[in-house]
Structure 1
């Protein structure tokens, strides 16, 4: 079947080929009436016209492709919403996102950057699965957007979750319910996680606002999986009644899942005897626990969309200052008032 040409569209719409070119390229939006533009687009769609992308890229020096380089986002379910947000933004603006996962391997990153620049992508996004400091890979074009990671050097447009505010939101939820003995189940210090320190800062901030003196015994570190959460929660729940926490703020939902197990093994009911708040709103965990877990959501979708809009030039960003995306509280059924034995009611 013969390829539909621009002149064919012009004949159907009753306009010149030049007018069709201006309308379909977007260059004539201020010079051609809305009625004529609509007629041209309807004619192009009816005729099945597809622009010659190669010729267009040679003319405009733009390919309409954005490269997204990540460590393991595409191969793990946890942060996949970042990809959905970035891809939706690209599609909204008529662009194509090209994704490459490298497992964080420096040589693979260099190869991927060479391949993407060889394909003449219009811009690049450099993403990591969790909030961390990252070195810019060799050859990463200046102006590339950092997603869910902070550059170790230089100024780059950057978006990260506001983990300090998220830690404050989790703690504030428990304070609002009447709790005063609130424990923080934290990640190991050796892990060096940015989010760990920031969430702890938010926790301390809200305790201070509420006039609650922090108890060092209620800040416990353990592995960030269910086993770590179970062990840390068990240690706290075995304290004498006067020192035992009535509420737990967990570094992530997997630790919260382990805390549920520790509570159930001791005959404690959630939230009647113990309130728990998690972090991440992790798929297949938070909403599936019994009772469903109140948690803080990582704004993966919103961060992905923000990064793509900056890469496309649809949104402005200050390369000198990371953009902190708010982490909202997701209320479910794991928070209630303190139990009667605590004396806090």
Structure 2
């Protein structure tokens, strides 16, 4: 038979004092007592194996040791779930539990928040599967304390986002430092990440006095938005670039999936990586980057860092950022450059 948990009343009866006094000693409230009494109560509680009732404590305080997470498509992207994993690990180490509610493209956000509120979370955080601008109703914005991998278009909610522009700058600088001068770029159309990374590429080239050719900055897919369903332009673009009198000696790819297509297309036109052309990309999807031949140099998305940083903010170990906090990528150098 399972023994019942030790209660405050059990401790009080053992010491011959009131339950109120025991509660005051164990819950650090303002009830007056001597330090000797307080220590005696705590020592006996430890000896008896007393475990505080977190639900009851939360009910009294109006909050529970819970943080709500609105996951906008996050659980559908294997590499983006690293945000959740790191966030959850850090909060668990601080005695907090993450309750995840999955939403899609901001739909049903208010309903999901109301459902989370019934659990009395200490905070509610919003996380997205990719870097995007989110337009939330005012009533919802008041409930969210932090946004991850996305930002509030109204500028009211502190947000942690990847530093896309600087990642593009670093990728181009890395190729330039390696002696590549004729650098082309296969962009991700219609995405914030794509436009910011391309801007960083342009800045690095300009600072080095190198020309950005318009016909060497091309979209990876046809249409207004990069997606797996959009028709790829990679094969045709590579064939055009490498049939001309002057070809690129370095290519920046919008992400690792684009790079995989570039590898195949370059082999079709008889070019060797990195001897003829160096390749660098973004994301560090390890199942792709490590298994390509040669393994792909890429800028790793800072999903782990965003998750850990968010955990530090929620637990009070780091200050809340003002507006947007841009988290840097990490260069993972392999054999394609």
In 2, distance between residues paired with 1:41 and 1:248? 66
| Distance change (3 Å), C-alpha of 1:211 and 1:41 | farther
Distance apart, 1:4 and its partner CA: 2.0
1:202 equivalent in structure 2: 200
Task: Look up the match of 2:264.
Answer: 261
Match of 1:232 in 2: 237
Deviations 1:256-293 (A, max 9, x none): 01000011112222111211001011131111211110
Distance 1:180 1:55, change over 3 A: same
Aligned-pair CA distance for 1:55: 1.4
1:325 is matched with 327
Is the CA contact (8 Å cut-off) linking 1:295 and 1:329 kept in structure 2? yes
Mean CA deviation greater in 215-224 or 278-287: 215-224
Q: Please give the alpha-carbon distance, in whole angstroms, between the structure 2 residues aligned to 1:114 and 1:128.
A: 19
The reply to whether residue 129 of structure 1 matches residue 132 of structure 2 is no
Give the TM-score of the pair, scaled to structure 2: 0.84
Equivalent pair of 1:228/1:255 in contact (CA under 8 Å): no
Q: What SS is found at the alignment partner of 1:74? A: helix
Deviation for aligned residue 1:177: 0.6
Q: Do the aligned residues in 2 keep the contact of 1:230 with 1:260 (CA within 8 Å)?
A: no
| 2:7 counterpart residue number | 5
- The size of the alignment, in residue pairs, is 321
Instruction: Name the CA shift for 1:4/1:266 in 2 (closer, same or farther; >3 Å).
Output: same
Question: RCO greater where, 1 or 2, for CA within 8 Å and sep 6 or more?
Answer: 1
Unaligned runs of at least 5 residues, structure 2: none
- Taking a change above 3 Å as real, the CA distance of residues 311 and 6 of structure 1, as seen in their structure-2 partners, is same
TM-score by length of 1: 0.83
Helix, strand or coil for the counterpart of 1:198? Answer: helix
Q: How many Å separate the matches in 2 of 1:172 and 1:136?
A: 37
SS at match of 1:303: helix
Q: Cα deviation per residue 1:124-169 (whole Å; 9 max; x = unaligned)?
A: 1111111111012564234521111111114111110000110011
User: What is the alpha-carbon root mean square deviation over aligned residues?
Assistant: 3.1
**Alignment-derived partner of residue 281 in structure 2:** 278
Residues in 2 aligned to 1:326 and 1:288: alpha-carbon distance in whole angstroms? 25
Q: CA deviation at 1:237?
A: 2.4
Partners of 2:328 and 2:249 in 1: CA distance:
27
3-state DSSP class of the match of 2:206?
helix
